Chain A
Amino acid sequence: MTTTTGPAAVIDKTMAADPARARRWGWWAVVEHLVLRMRRYIATLLITGIGSPFLYLLGLGAGLGVLVDEGEGVGGVPYLTFVAPALVLASVMQTSVQENVLGTFGGFKWFNMFPAMRLTPVTPAQMAVGVQVGALIRVLPLLGFYLIAVVAFGIADPLRALALVPVGVLLSLAVGFLVMGWVSTQEHDRGQLSFVERFGVVPLTLFSGTYFPLDTLPGYLQPIGWVSPLWHAVELGRAAMYGHRPGIDLAAVHIGYLALLAAAGAWLSVRHFRRRLDE
């Protein structure tokens, strides 16, 4: 029997922090934090995640698709086949933008996430990477539900559909890091945050060859598509899903462009995070 009456020691001398492990896995701790936050609205996430693919594909396929296919489809494929990869990727872009606007701004201002992480071994670069992986954790199930719908509607065979996954991941990283690079410079929300969605996501979705081929637009509007990460992703997506010709030929260009955007956005984000977290 021990004779101590006081409570157990506060500091556990048998266990110290592991800086080497934190250096390797800090970004994953960030992801864990984000997932814990997502659990609070998991029901909404699941319902929209499962519901919207089926609704969009059904709506466009049964409505617009019938109309378009009375001609000869688009570029030799039925409208639903043409539009499905674009719908998936537009949805990926929107989700990534949302996660990054809220995650980045909120992480600094609303829920103290980055300032608190700053008190630990986690570095600004790990925070930025963690938020992107957190966004992917929302993007991947969304891709999954879309792919199930695509296969269920008989739009593409499962293996080809699966090729959309890496395209979606690349797109999410490209737009995610770019959005983060800008949002991390914003100290106050004076409504400008919603501009990303209103003047970024919506026009890009309309002018990126999503619902109709880019070359049906007047020439002066087509450059919007060329700079749009969504257009490059959609070209890749179509190449993957039904062998869309220019998409295959220019695959390296599309992949390179998206990778370049992701790298530039990542560089900006880390720079801004570092500056903002050094008081």
Chain B
Amino acid sequence: MISARSLTKRFGDFTAVDGIDFDIAPGESFGFLGPNGAGKSTTMRMIAATSTRTDGDLTVLGLDTNHHGPEIRAQLGIVPQGDLLDEELRVIDNLTVYGRYFGLPRAYVRRRAEDLLDFAQLREKRLSRVEGLSGGMKRRLTIARGLINNPRIMLLDEPTTGLDPQARHILWDRLFRLKEEGTTLVVTTHFMDEAEQLCDRLVVIDRGRIVTEGSPSSLIRRYSTREVLEVRFGSSRNEEAARTTAGIGDRQEVLPDRILIYADDGENALQAVLDRGLEPVTSLVRRSSLEDVFLRLTGRSLIE
């Protein structure tokens, strides 16, 4: 469905996307996971054929993005990072106006807009102006808008950034339904839990380059242990404590505010820490996540 080879985007002499390769299959949900400025949105814009690539090849639905923008976009549902809604118009008008840009008949667009209002749970807001909506409602409206043309591929740039946990779960549920129907999803995110929830497969991207690729669970298996022990000794004492904990578990990461100890059995590791006479202020055993994969690969946390 989407195929990129040595895809590159430069702004002046700054390289935002630095020769990346990926292939996305029909029905797959594919993620770009990376920190701020990694080049996720830039990549999404090139896929959406709204940004001309500097170098390499990129085809979407078999068409070259540099030459077939309108034909490609006709089949895409695009949810940009900033919602780009017309805030002075009413909710329903934002849907119908947008639907008409796809050459869809007026009567059809009206009907479809009503269905999507239900999908986005915005029926009570039907006649409200967008400016009065909450962030989560605007995000849902943007997703509904992106669906109006019955796209074959949905591009979602940070679908849940800035939303509270409940709103995020509602959105994930909606996207999950789309995925079950066989719509191809391409998602960018810097949330590990989101990537784990939504993506069959993902690439970790950092400074415009792909660092690794795989399914969330395979990445965790490859780059991390089953469990992680997080211990805190107070910010000034972590370094010092780390000298004593050395050797416990498979691997350790010393961060300014805590020490991460990677081990298949976290409770065992904690016991070992206590046995060495250390008394952590707090301790937590959790499952490994993509955050740990990212830390392992780049030496930095995903959200600074």
Residues of A participating in the B interface, judged by any CB pair closer than 8 Å: 6-13, 15-26, 29-30, 32-33, 36-37, 40, 111-113, 115-123, 277-279
Contacts and interface: CB of A to CB of B under 8 A. Distances in A.
Interface stretch (B99-107, B203-211, B273-281, B289-297): B99-107
Given A121-B70, A278-B52, A17 B100 contact: no
A111 B101 contact: no
16 contacts: A10-B119, A11-B147, A15-B108, A15-B150, A20-B103, A23-B103, A37-B86, A111-B88, A112-B84, A112-B85, A118-B50, A119-B76, A121-B101, A121-B103, A122-B70, A279-B51
A112 B69 CA distance: 19
B183 interface: yes
A12 B97 contact: no
B50 A36 contact: no
Interface residues of B, number: 44
Nearest to B146: A119
Given A29-B103, A112-B83, A119-B50, 7 more contacts: A17-B150, A22-B101, A32-B100, A115-B80, A118-B50, A119-B48, A121-B70
A9 B118 CA distance: 12
Contacts of A40: 88
A26 B48 CA distance: 18
B14 to A, nearest CB: 14
Task: Specify which of A17, A29, A30, A278 lies most central, judged by the most chain B CB atoms within 10 Å of its CB.
Answer: A17
B20 interface: no
Interface in B46-68: 48, 50-52
Nearest to A31: B100
Contact of B80 (A8, A16, A17, A119): A119
B245 to A, nearest CB: 47
A37 B78 CA distance: 23
B71 A10 contact: no
B78 A119 contact: yes
B149 interface: yes
B201 interface: no
Given A17-B103, A22-B102, A33-B97, A121 B150 contact: no
B75 A16 contact: yes
A16 B74 CA distance: 8
Contact of A10 (B84, B97, B147): B147
Contacts of B178: 10-11
B150 A13 contact: yes
Nearest to A118: B50
B250 interface: no
Contacts of A118: 50
Task: Specify which of A13, A19, A30, A115 lies most central, judged by the most chain B CB atoms within 10 Å of its CB.
Answer: A19
B168 interface: no
B110 interface: no
Interface in B96-135: 97-98, 100-104, 108, 112, 115, 118-119
A36 B48 contact: no
A117 B102 CA distance: 10
A17 B108 CA distance: 11
A120 B89 contact: no
B200 interface: no
Given A16-B150, A19-B103, A121-B71, A116 B93 contact: no
A11 B150 contact: yes
Given A8-B115, A15-B108, A116 B103 contact: no
A26 to B, nearest CB: 7
Contacts of A26: 101, 103
Nearest to B177: A10
B87 interface: yes
B164 interface: no
A17 B75 CA distance: 7
